[in-house]
Every structure is written in C-alpha cells, then in structure tokens.
Amino acid sequence: MKNILVTGGTGYIGSHTVVELLNLNYNVIIIDNLSNSKIVVLDRIEKITGKRPKFYKGDIRSKDDLRKIFNENKIDCVINFAGLKAVGESVKKPLEYYENNIYGSIVLLEEMKKNNVYNFIFSSSATVYGDPIDVPVDENSKIGGTTNPYGTTKLFIERILNDLVIAEPKFNICILRYFNPIGAHPSGLIGEDPNGIPNNLAPYITQVMVGKREKLNIFGNDYDTKDGTCIRDYIHVCDLAYGHVCAINKLEKSQGIFIYNLGTGKGSSVFDVLHAFEKAYGKPIAYAIAPRRAGDVKANYTDVTKAYNELGFKAKYDILDMARDAWNWQKNNPNGYED
Ligand code: NAD
Ligand code: UDP
C-alpha cells in the first residue's frame, strides 16, 4: 500500500501522520474542508519533509469531491481523521456532529466501495469506554455509556464499521482508539492550534505559559486518585502518528476488522502533566482549583499489550518529551498558524 488518502490531513493528528507517511515514502493525498485547520500547514509539512502532499479542499460529505479524488488518484488505503471533535460544542450542536462525523463517514465508505478501495483506518477515541469500571482498559473492555454526542459519534461509527465488514467482507478495517494525544513535532513547525479558548489540558497550559491565559483551572482535586485530579493516558502525537503506519502494515497482512487502543499505558494526573510543563518552562505555572467539569471520568488509561503484540506498536516518548515539544511549538507560534 503506497497511496494513502488522508481525510482531515491538515488537522492536528492528520498533519503529524502525513509527515510520518511522507518520511516513509508513502504518496499522500489529503482532503480537508479547512473547517478546523489552515492551508499553511501544507507549507510546514513541506518544510519538514521536503515533500508537498497533494491537497484537495473538499468535504467527505460531498460525493462529488470524493469522486474527483478517486478518479484522479489510485488510492490503496484511506485514513479518516475528518471530523468535529469538541466535546462541549457537540452537546450544543448534536445534529451537526452526527451529520458531519457519521454521515461523512458513510459517504466516504460508499465512495470507497464504488471505487474498489477497501482498506480503511478510523480515528476512534478512548471516550467509547465511557466511565470505565476498571483501569487499565483493554480492547475487550465494555464500550458505551458515552457522556456526549461527540463520543457517541465514535461509538456509532465503530458499530457501522462492524456491520459493514459482515455485509462486505472485502472491507479491511482498523479502528484506532486514541487516548490523549498531546505534544507536537520536534521541529516546532506543526502542532495543535485550537480555536478560541482551548478545551483540552495541554493547549490550555501552553497558552498560560505564553501569556495568553492567566492561569490553568484544574477541574476538581477531590477525585479518588493519588493527588485528587483525574488520570489520563497522554501520548505524544508523533507516537500516535507512527501508530497509523503500524495499522497500514497490519492491513497489508490481514483481512477483517481490528481494534487497537493507542496510548502509553501510563496514567498521569493533571498535576503530573502540569509539573512536566513546569520542567519544560523552567518556572512555576499559575493554576487554581476549580469545580469538577461535567462529564469528566476519574481515570482512563490503557493496557498496551494488544497493540504491541499485533501491531508492534510501542510509544517512545514520555510526558516530559510531550511537554517539551508542545512548549517548543507554542513558543515558536504563540498565535498558532496565524503568525
Ligand atoms: P482536528 O480538528 O485538528 O482535525 C480534523 C480535520 O478534519 C480538520 O482539519 C478539519 O478541518 C477537517 N474536517 C472536519 N470535518 C470535515 C469534513 N466533513 N470534510 C473534510 N474535512 C473535515 O482534529 P484532530 O485532533 O487532528 O483529530 C483527528 C481525528 O481524531 C478526529 O476524528 C478526532 O475525533 C479523533 N480524535 C482526536 C483526539 C484528540 O484528542 N485530538 C482524541 C481521540 C480521537
Ligand atoms: N483539565 C483541567 N483544566 C483544563 C482542561 C482540562 O483540569 O483547562 C483536566 C480535565 O478535567 C481532565 C484532564 O485535564 O481531567 C484532561 O482533559 P482533556 O479535556 O484534555 O481530555 P479528556 O478529558 O477529554 O480526556
């Protein structure tokens, strides 16, 4: 498999994956509607890799946009990053989330089938485990009980993919459940560039570091954890990007539907993350304890055995690396891609 269509390829995880693919000499074709990313990402990707991916400004919900791409390119595998991902926004705009994420994935799969393209990698999320009874979770842990429409789109798409391979055994699918991707490419040229006030922990911290926010609000310090704050499995976005190469290799060798959790296997508290960023910064970062955030789960991290045994995937970076690289990106690009 050499020709990879990357939907959402100018976004945060997509752009890092495109860099990884180009460095390994894959041909990359991107479709992105630029609803949550900037075209300048392509220049940055070219600066890092010396190669410019083929880019189509288009929407995965548009059959015409997809047909054009499948007509003009021989595609071996599709990686579907395109989707809306803001948890809070999904509560306010459920129809937009269901339409964009679920309908978009359905149109994409239909057009793949019409063009005899059957290899598909899907960006799912640890959120499908809801509030896990036991941690670490593994791929056989119970899914469901999602706490917002965003998470439910991931759950439903996974279900659709399972139904699809039963009806259409030519489809060959890898579902990757990401834990918490943070960090940035070590070059500092690409990274996470949220719109407005960041919802997620790492970009909020780096905006405090760069002086755009006054202090970090820690959402609850009264959970039943080692320091009272929630536990997550943070994974460097470059490790995550490499996980997609492992998934391509898997689909080359096997036929069916496969599910993997991608994380480091290590649970870190909000204070652990804050302290890692303080190390990168060389000074304290202002914070205050705030009330718990609705919908937050106490702890979620993964068992990494299956991804290691079946994909050969193992994260290389720890939270100090993640903090260093996230800070390097933010420091060099205080206003993200707007500079
Ligand atoms: P992102 O918003 O940075 O990237 C998504 C990209 O898709 C954006 O460039 C956006 O413009 C594009 N897009 C959205 N809808 C589209 C459509 N209909 N047609 C074409 N392009 C469209 O998000 P990300 O953090 O890179 O996440 C990528 C994928 O991984 C998403 O599906 C997300 O739900 C999933 N995921 C992300 C995380 C995370 O913490 N970042 C965790 C788990 C899963
Ligand atoms: N968090 C926080 N302050 C923030 C953003 C996040 O204390 O401004 C906490 C949040 O409560 C959670 C952890 O950081 O315990 C990770 O949150 P994030 O939104 O990044 O990931 P998710 O909760 O979706 O796993």
- Report which DSSP code applies to 163: H
Reported as type and span, the H/E element at residue 182 is strand 180-182
Reported as type and span, the H/E element at residue 112 is helix 104-114
Given the residues 12, 56, 98, 150, the one annotated as active site: 150
State the pLDDT at residue 339. Answer: 61
Query: Residue 159 corresponds to which tokens in the numbers above?
Result: 């279900």
- Report which DSSP code applies to 283: S
Q: How far does the centroid of ligand 2 lie from the alpha carbon of residue 201, in Å?
A: 5
Q: Which atom of ligand 1 lies at the shortest distance from residue 200's CA?
A: 40
What is the C-alpha to C-alpha distance for residues 141 and 132, in angstroms, rounded to an integer?
Answer: 8
Query: Residue 102 corresponds to which tokens in the numbers above?
Result: 């679920």
Query: Residue 256 corresponds to which tokens in the numbers above?
Result: 């069916």
What is the C-alpha to C-alpha distance for residues 277 and 206, in angstroms, rounded to an integer?
Answer: 8
Active site residue 150: yes
What is the C-alpha to C-alpha distance for residues 100 and 168, in angstroms, rounded to an integer?
Answer: 23
Q: Interior CA angle at 42 toward 317 and 202, to 5°?
A: 35
Q: Which atom of ligand 2 lies at the shortest distance from residue 232's CA?
A: 25
Residues 6+ apart with CB under 8 A from 42: 10, 30, 52, 53, 55
Residue 257 three-state SS: strand
**Minimum-distance ligand to the CA of 126?**
1
Residues 6+ apart with CB under 8 A from 274: 205, 216, 218, 285, 287
Per-residue pLDDT of the chain (339 residues; tens, 9 = 90+): 899 999 999 999 999 999 999 999 999 999 999 999 999 999 999 999 999 999 999 999 999 999 999 999 999 999 999 999 999 999 999 999 999 999 999 999 999 999 999 999 999 999 999 999 999 999 999 999 999 999 999 999 999 999 999 999 999 999 999 999 999 999 999 999 999 999 999 999 999 999 999 999 999 999 999 999 999 999 999 999 999 999 999 999 999 999 999 999 999 999 999 999 999 999 999 999 999 999 899 999 999 999 999 999 999 999 999 999 999 999 999 999 986
* Four-residue CA torsion sign, 81, 84, 87, 91: negative
- Report which DSSP code applies to 252: H
Q: How far does the centroid of ligand 1 lie from the alpha carbon of residue 63, in Å?
A: 19
Take atom 19 of ligand 1 and give the residue whose Cα is closest: 59
In 10 A of CB 125, how many CB atoms? 22
What is the C-alpha to C-alpha distance for residues 65 and 184, in angstroms, rounded to an integer?
Answer: 30
Residue 136 preceded by cis peptide, ω within 30:
yes
Using a cut of 0.85, tell me whether the model's pTM lies above it.
yes
State the pLDDT at residue 37. Answer: 98
Kindly provide the residue ranges of all beta strands, DSSP E only, lying in the chain, ordered along the sequence: 3-7, 27-32, 54-57, 77-80, 119-125, 172-178, 180-182, 216-219, 231-232, 234-236, 257-262, 268-269, 287-290, 299-300
- Which residues are 10's β-sheet partners? none
State the pLDDT at residue 59. Answer: 99
Query: Residue 227 corresponds to which tokens in the numbers above?
Result: 């320091």
Q: How far does the centroid of ligand 2 lie from the alpha carbon of residue 249, in Å?
A: 33
Q: Which atom of ligand 2 lies at the shortest distance from residue 179's CA?
A: 25
Residue 89 three-state SS: helix
Ligand 1 pocket list (CB less than 6 A): 7-8, 10-14, 31-37, 59-61, 81-85, 100, 104, 123, 125, 178, 180-181
Query: Strand pairing of 268-269 and 231-232?
Result: antiparallel
Q: How far does the centroid of ligand 1 lie from the alpha carbon of residue 180, in Å?
A: 14
Query: Residue 285 corresponds to which tokens in the numbers above?
Result: 């970062």
Ligand 2 pocket list (CB less than 6 A): 180, 199-201, 204, 216-219, 230, 232, 270, 293, 296
